Chains A and B, each alone.
Chain A
Amino acid sequence: MAEAPDTSVPPILSANRISKSFGEIPVLFSIDFDIRPGEVHAIIGENGAGKSTLIKILSGIEQPTSGTITYDGQKVVLPPNGEAAAMGIVVIHQELLLAEHLTVADSIFLGRELKSGPFLKLRDMREQARAILDTLHVSIDPDARINTLSVADKQMVEIAKAISRDARVIIMDEPTAVLSVAESRTLFEQVRRLTAKGVAVIFISHKLDEIMELADRVTVLRDGQLIATVGTENLTPDSIAQMMVGRELSNLYPPKHEPDVDADVVLSVRDLEAPGISGISFDLKRGEILGFAGLIGSGRTAVAEAIVGLTKKSGGAVSVQGAPAEFADVSKSVAAGLAYMTKDRKGRGLLLNAGLQPNLTLLTLKKHLRMGFLDGRSEEQALDRAVRRFDIRARDPSVQVGKLSGGNQQKLMLGKTMESEPEIVIMDEPTRGIDVGTKQQIYHIIAALAAEGKAIIVISSEMQEVIGLSHRVVVMRQGRMAGVLEGAEITEAEIMRYAAGIKQGGENERLSA
């Protein structure tokens, strides 16, 4: 689509044999990357492939462990803390970093206000802000407060801010993740306008169709390795998906035991509608592990939270064990044998300042009452059991949970969830940010629970995990079910096709197994 920029032009920014380790853990291996003025260069890869680390290095927020950065023909050490912005390398983060109560003009000039003596030149700033916004062909009032703007408009303010700083390289981190299709269109026009002026744009996205449309070149990362840098004209969405994936499944995952064909349906969801999601229908059987795949923000967590009553659903029906289930709050769903384990261990799952025992029993404290008073012995026994069952390793049960490793925190949270003895468990990102050994333990626990006859939903952004564990996989895209995969169809490439919107659903006949 985009005109191919002149390949003879030297790159404005290039990274040569960049490696990065955090402590002893290597995350990037000898990456080469360059971008020319006027070019859109996309970086893609799965979660954890090293995209964000590469961006941080290219914008100076992190320093590479080895390798060099060349900017404008000269070897440079980019200054940290975003000071690279002053040199013309600007990052537009996914979570836009704007002060909500300032005006648009204030935001554009934040940190380099126009002044005469100690006083702000308010009118000059307002006029210049308006001029910049005019060049973007957007009608945003420079006096509007940021918190009155839509997400798309906020993004435009960020772009205006970048332009006002004479940015030569703009790095956009998943800019369309929070935009509607129409808003994405406007954004693409802006990107084209910028590149026509010679600005280089590094574009991170999971949406392969967008990349095909916008990018001149694509760099694929996988597990911190550079897989390829290819001109878009030589690519198809399928070939990109292949490059992103291309990995063998190891015996990290326990063998799958298919649930009985005639096993009872324990959870049935029909036309569920809630903020951010609609048209969700599926059945879950005893002993089944149902995977929920999809990109971040595709609505998987929203489905879970609507089912258990954490958010209000606006339509549709949920039934548990055949009985209609309208959970007004979490305690009702727990009582009905349906438990949800959050993906946000530190913010929503555990009290980081408390010890193991109060955390383990918080969800089910009523079980440990004797004549209305807490029974410490009963709580201790519960902790002993959970420590053995889930192999939670802490030297001292009174140690603050915040000091445990991520893996032990996750196992404790699993223990907390299973304390309610649920028949149905929804696990949201059950292995996020934990080491591979603990991952394997958790996979085996999940498989064992299913073998016991529990019904389990696993929401995960790691595709191998979904594939390795699930009997069936629901792929979500933009708040809807893009497809349901079964058996041999469950492959990374196939999931990616649905998640990225290359393939559409229409398999409603298979929604209920």
Chain B
Amino acid sequence: MTYLFFSYFKDLVGREVTVELKNDLAIRGTLHSVDQYLNIKLENTRVVDQDKYPHMLSVRNCFIRGSVVRYVQLPPDGVDIELLHDATRREARGG
């Protein structure tokens, strides 16, 4: 399943995403890269809830460890439902 998300996120490189961490911090930025462990690199980031995290106001580059990611919010047109359906079906069949 991890591989499915990995290849899916790879197609979103260069797009704006919002990464929500397990500690509730949500960071918005341009997806720079993602690796097989779903470590995510963002560029030109900003914290969504700036009142709560003022010191994280803006950072240029940010590396987020895959294991601390709770959600990744995708751009609406970045969700190819057909492709995901197909990929999950193939995954479920074990190939």
B is bound to A: no
